[in-house]
Structure 1
Amino acid sequence: MSVKSLFDLTGRKALITGGSKGIGKAIARAFAECGADVCITARHEEELQAAAKEIAQGLSGRIEYRVCDMGDRAAVDAMSIDVLQSLQGIDILVNNAGTNKPEILTETTDDVWDEVLELNFTACMRLARHVVPGMKEKNWGRIIHLSSVMALASNPGRGLYSGTKAALIGMARAHALELGPYGITVNCICPGPIATDLPMSLLNDEQKQRFAERTAVKRWGETMDMVGPALLLGSDAGAYITGTTILADGGLICRTFD
């Protein structure tokens, strides 16, 4: 097998949640460029339409989208069944959709707790549960959870976010052991500071600069910086990588102290 063929996704079917922008859209485009049929999901149809059109530009593969609130269990189940039928299976699942609602412990409300837990963790399990039977039949599958550097280090007010992202890592390890005999790998990617809408809306200029300065490369990451890890884990190139976490943080947490 040639090196180039290791990354060839021709004939593969990929589902990427949160695919209308940011990291999800970048990964969807990369998978499509490598030959996969791709379906992206998000909550807003106009954003999905625009993203699907952009992803499909210059490509001949199949690009679909589904409007879905990943915090709605019934919607997640219905979307999963629909996409499995439409694409005739899902070979690669990228659980990218997520949210962050900072609250300190004593001010954490049950409603926010339930919302973030559902979207960041439970929905990932439910989607994986839907797609795994088909992957087992093919004896090939890739499940990638987008965790976060905040799963490994945190800040005040981020207990809920860090907790859900750390939970993905633990879940991936267990599922890797369960599914490895069927040719299915399960891994996490932990992005560091990536210049997407979510952190840009939460942080002030001083905080943004502080994050950049703490990285080894002295900059925020771009969405394209996540494409390499995703292609590795989503293709035959990563066939012997499972139950692990790729930390793509620009060297943010390799520093011990200043």
Structure 2
Amino acid sequence: MPVGLYDLTGRVALVTGGNKGLGKAMARGFAEAGADVVIASRHEDELRAALDEILAGTNQKGAYFVADMSVRGDADTLAKAALAKFGRVDILVNNAGMNAPQAIDAIDDATWDRVVEVNLSSVMAMTRALVPQMKERRWGRVVHVSSIMGQVSKERRNVYSATKAALIGMAKASALDLGPFGVTVNCVAPGPFLTDMPMSVLSDAEKQAFADRTALGRWGAPRELVGPVLMLCSEAGSYVTGQTLFVDGGYLAR
């Protein structure tokens, strides 16, 4: 049956930034597809409640760990904790990210370094830590959450666009490194989704402009990212690697 292509029974998925928004929605989708789930973020109070919601009504196991992706060593600590808890991680979704809008002639070094660490360097560190055991089993799925802002941009998105574009390049290279071992690496690039990050940095006029530019005339709900990610992380996407899947409601078509 075609539905079996999306079955993740027996798999373990780790989602950074899994306490809310897109990360929480993806983690819930993995649990519904049969995977055990690990989520991580900086906020323990949010993690506990989020994990309960992610696992509700499923028979899956889960765990959460507090990790700050702006601290390089936390990536290794998180990877080791997840492996100690479940013995394996089959699916890694590098979702943790941040945005700190600044014009090119106003960027301060501390902000640049923090956004690069969270959006890009932590992705390298998490992937580096977890792919060796995927290679040993000759099966794995790695998905970096990029953005349409890695393809286009707007004012004051210098560091954000730079990091999201870099993820696309890194996924291509990593796909070549890991393909011989049965591990795929892809990016998913969301467009306008109703999450805390864009809602906190955009004016009402900017929010409407994003909606108007999409073919569907609206923002996406986090749940609408689940299907594309499940495809990339299951047998349905076994021959897809080194790619970027734009899930943007037609934003880039205009």
Q: TM-score range by the shorter chain?
A: over 0.9
Residue 54 of structure 2 corresponds to residue 61 of structure 1: no
- For residues 8-19 of structure 1, the aligned pairs below 5 Å read 8-19=7-18
- For residues 87-166 of structure 1, the aligned pairs below 5 Å read 87-166=86-165
Q: CA deviation at 1:60?
A: 1.2
**Partner of residue 51, structure 1:** 50
179-188 or 78-87: which moved more? 78-87
Q: Which runs of 5+ in 1 are unaligned?
A: none
Equivalent residue letter for 1:109: D
Q: Which runs of 5+ in 2 are unaligned?
A: none
**Partner of residue 70, structure 1:** 69
Post-superposition CA distance 1:197-223 (Å, at most 9, x none): 010111111111111011000000110
**Partner of residue 227, structure 1:** 226
User: 2 CA distance for matches of 1:27 and 1:85?
Assistant: 23
Equivalent residue letter for 1:107: A
SS of alignment partner, residue 65 of structure 1:
strand
Q: CA deviation at 1:76?
A: 1.7
4+ residue stretches of structure 1 with deviation over 4 A? Answer: none
User: 2 CA distance for matches of 1:79 and 1:198?
Assistant: 23
SS of alignment partner, residue 105 of structure 1:
coil
User: 2 CA distance for matches of 1:246 and 1:112?
Assistant: 28
SS of alignment partner, residue 232 of structure 2:
helix
- For residues 158-237 of structure 1, the aligned pairs below 5 Å read 158-237=157-236
User: 2 CA distance for matches of 1:125 and 1:84?
Assistant: 18
- Count of matched residue positions in the alignment of Structure 1 and Structure 2: 254
Post-superposition CA distance 1:109-143 (Å, at most 9, x none): 11001000000000001000111110011100000
- Note if contact 2:144-2:186 (Cα within 8 Å) is conserved in structure 1: yes
User: 2 CA distance for matches of 1:112 and 1:124?
Assistant: 18
Post-superposition CA distance 1:160-216 (Å, at most 9, x none): 000000000000000001100100000000100001001011111111111101100
Q: CA deviation at 1:151?
A: 0.3
User: 2 CA distance for matches of 1:18 and 1:119?
Assistant: 11
- Note if contact 2:189-2:244 (Cα within 8 Å) is conserved in structure 1: yes
TM-score (norm 2): 0.99
Q: CA deviation at 1:30?
A: 0.6
User: 1 CA distance for matches of 2:14 and 2:78?
Assistant: 11
Give % identity.
Answer: 52
**Partner of residue 21, structure 1:** 20
SS of alignment partner, residue 199 of structure 1:
helix
Residue 29 of structure 2 corresponds to residue 30 of structure 1: yes
Q: CA deviation at 1:74?
A: 1.6
User: 2 CA distance for matches of 1:89 and 1:6?
Assistant: 21
